[in-house]
Every structure is written in structure tokens, then in C-alpha cells.
């Protein structure tokens, strides 16, 4: 099926990317009123609710939901997602949407750099060169000493690192764990962990704010569903370059919702980061990594 219906895979994947861009834009809007961790909590609770409803409606047997042989890694994956989303939403409070997205595009480069020591994969000079060039692109976006709140750039950098390690945990789990089991533990674990942390930042919500929080959770669940369907229709290495279509969506949403348009140095840095990331992906696909 993966060879026969790649266009369906691309379509699902691009819809998932669009949904994540909308989640980011709404979350940036909400950071004016609500702490980033409370926004992340609403996001995780909404996803967990949708995943649980799906399991009930489909009447999935217990093993199809709870049957894991790698609980510590499942818990670690959930914790990494909490870190990734929380730092992402916090960064959106201080930094334009496109700038944050450009910085988080360094995640594939971080994966390439860490895949040797953490996954035992061979990382050659070509990929190391792409990592160095890509990180130079990140510095162009950040512009040390520029207009961006300097300490705040650490937040999307932490997001990129969190997402990279999250993806490596996913690689480990994918070899033995069913997709829905991992989705359940990630959503439930993230909701539980964020519920513990949000107590320290909780503020009462009005109906509009609660609706927004639940809405981004539903959109997040929709994105997860589309990601899963896309990987059922096409190979992950084939779909990976389409991650970068997110820059188009966030530029449009950033302009429409906040009047932001990326500065020339952000566009230049983004181009370097994306080119380096695509080169890494091309090398991985060619070598069958």
C-alpha cells in the first residue's frame, strides 16, 4: 500500500502539518492571557480525551491499548513531549511564530548529531557538515545581540532538542510497540504529568479560554491521526521533507493573526536550516538509515 498510494500519504501529512501550525498560532494568542504550561495542559488533556473516546468507540481490547513491554521508555517519551510542547508554547509568548518554527527545524540536525552516541548509527562527514551548516543557519535566525529577547531563544532551542530526543525514543519504540499503544501512553502520560505541574501555574478559565484549550487538544489529536494515516500510506523518509511546509503556514498565520512577517535574516537562516535538514534526510534515505 505504501508504494501505491504515496499521494494520500502526502495529503494526510500536509494536513497534519497545517493542524500543528494552527495549534501553534492559537497557543501564541493564548499566551497573552494564560501561562504556557496551562496551555500545554489543555492541549494534552484534549488529546488524551480524544484518544480515550476512540478506544471506547472502537471497543479496542485491553492489550491493544495497554499492552506495552517497554513502560520506562513510554514514560520517557511522554515526559519528552511535555518538555517539547511546554517550551514551544513558552517561546511563542516572546518570539514571532515563524522565528520559533525556523529554530525548531534544527531538530533533524540534532537527531543526526545524537544518533551516533545514542542510537549506535554511523554518522559520516557529510551529515556532520550538514549539522554544522544548519546550526549556522540557527545562529543567523537568532542573531545574538539582535532584537529577539536573548534568553527566550533558549526555549525553542530546548523544543528542538526535546523533539529530537522524542523522535529517537519513537524510533526505539516503533520496532516493538503497536502504534496505538504508544499513542495512548504518550497522551495519557503527558496529560498526567502536565496535570501535576499545572497546579503551580493554574488560573481560573472562562468559557472562551476553556473552549480554546480543548480545541487545540482536538486539533492536536487530529494531527496525530493524520500523521499515523500518512505513515500507513507512505514511507517516513519519503514524507519527512514535507515537514518544512510548516514555514509557509506559520508565515501566513503569523501575518494574519499578529501582523508579523519574517525579517530577511530569518528567511535566510530558515533556508539554510531547511537545506541542511533536507540534505541529512537525503543521505539517510540513500544509506537506508
With 70 as the cut, is the pLDDT of residue 237 above it? no
Output the furthest CA–CA distance in the chain (Å, rounded): 56
**Cα gap 214→220, rounded to integer Å:** 10
pLDDT for residue 1: 45
pLDDT single digits (tens) 6-63: 788 889 989 999 999 999 999 999 999 999 999 999 999 999 999 999 999 999 898 8
Residue 4's pLDDT band (boundaries 50, 70, 90)?
Answer: low
CB 106 within 8 A of CB 138: yes
- Show me where the domains of the chain are located: 6-287
* Per-residue pLDDT tens over the stretch 126-159: 767 877 888 888 878 877 655 555 778 889 999 9
pTM score of the predicted model = 0.86
| 143 closest CA partner among 114, 180, 102 | 102
Does residue 3 have a pLDDT over 60? Answer: no
End-to-end CA distance of the chain: 21
Alpha-carbon span 189 to 14, nearest angstrom: 27
Percent of the chain with pLDDT over 70: 89
Residue 44 or residue 1, greater confidence:
44
Question: Mean pLDDT over all residues of the chain?
Answer: 86
Distance CA 17, CA 112 (A): 22
pLDDT score for 289: 45
Check whether 2 has a pLDDT greater than 50: no
Query: 167, 109, 166, 164: which is closest to 138 by C-alpha?
Result: 109
Q: What is the pLDDT of residue 120?
A: 60
Give the model's pLDDT for residue 199.
Answer: 93
Whether the pLDDT of residue 221 is over 50: the answer is yes
Residues in CB range of 167: below 8 A, 6 or more apart: 107, 111
Grid cell of 73 as nine digits: 521508555
Q: What is the pLDDT of residue 187?
A: 94
Comparing 123 with 272, the larger pLDDT belongs to 272
Q: What percent of the chain has pLDDT over 90?
A: 47
Amino acid at each position: 500500500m505504501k508504494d501505491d498510494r504515496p499521494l494520500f500519504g502526502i495529503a494526510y501529512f500536509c494536513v497534519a502539518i497545517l493542524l500543528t501550525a494552527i495549534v501553534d498560532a492559537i497557543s501564541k494568542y493564548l499566551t497573552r492571557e494564560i501561562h504556557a504550561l496551562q496551555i500545554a495542559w489543555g492541549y494534552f488533556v484534549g488529546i488524551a480525551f480524544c484518544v480515550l473516546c476512540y478506544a471506547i468507540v472502537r471497543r479496542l481490547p485491553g492489550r491493544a491499548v495497554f499492552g506495552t513491554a517497554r513502560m520506562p521508555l513510554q514514560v520517557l517519551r511522554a515526559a519528552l513531549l511535555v518538555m517539547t510542547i511546554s517550551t514551544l508554547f513558552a517561546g511563542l509568548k516572546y518570539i514571532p511564530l515563524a522565528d520559533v518554527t525556523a529554530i525548531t527545524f534544527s531538530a533533524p540536525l540534532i537527531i543526526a548529531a545524537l544518533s551516533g552516541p545514542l542510537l549506535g548509527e554511523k554518522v559520516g562527514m557529510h551529515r556532520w557538515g550538514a549539522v554544522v551548516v544548519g546550526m549556522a543557519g540557527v545562529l543567523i535566525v537568532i542573531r545574538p545581540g539582535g532584537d529577539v529577547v536573548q534568553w527566550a531563544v533558549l526555549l525553542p532551542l530546548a523544543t528542538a532538542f526535546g523533539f529530537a530526543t522524542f523522535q529517537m525514543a519513537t524510533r526505539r519504540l516503533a520496532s516493538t510497540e503497536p502504534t496505538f499503544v504508544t499513542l495512548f501512553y504518550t497522551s495519557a502520560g503527558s496529560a498526567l504529568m502536565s496535570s501535576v505541574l499545572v497546579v503551580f501555574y493554574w488560573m481560573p478559565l472562562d468559557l472562551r479560554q476553556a473552549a480554546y484549550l480543548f480545541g487545540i487538544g482536538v486539533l492536536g489529536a487530529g494531527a496525530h491521526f493524520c500523521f499515523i494515516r500518512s505513515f500507513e500510506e507512505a514511507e517516513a523518509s519519503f514524507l519527512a521533507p514535507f515537514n518544512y511546509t510548516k514555514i509557509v503556514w506559520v508565515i501566513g498565520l503569523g501575518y494574519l493573526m499578529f501582523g508579523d512577517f519574517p525579517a530577511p535574516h530569518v528567511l535566510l537562516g530558515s533556508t539554510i536550516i531547511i537545506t541542511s535538514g533536507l540534505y541529512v534526510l537525503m543521505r539517510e534515505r540513500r544509506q537506508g538509515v
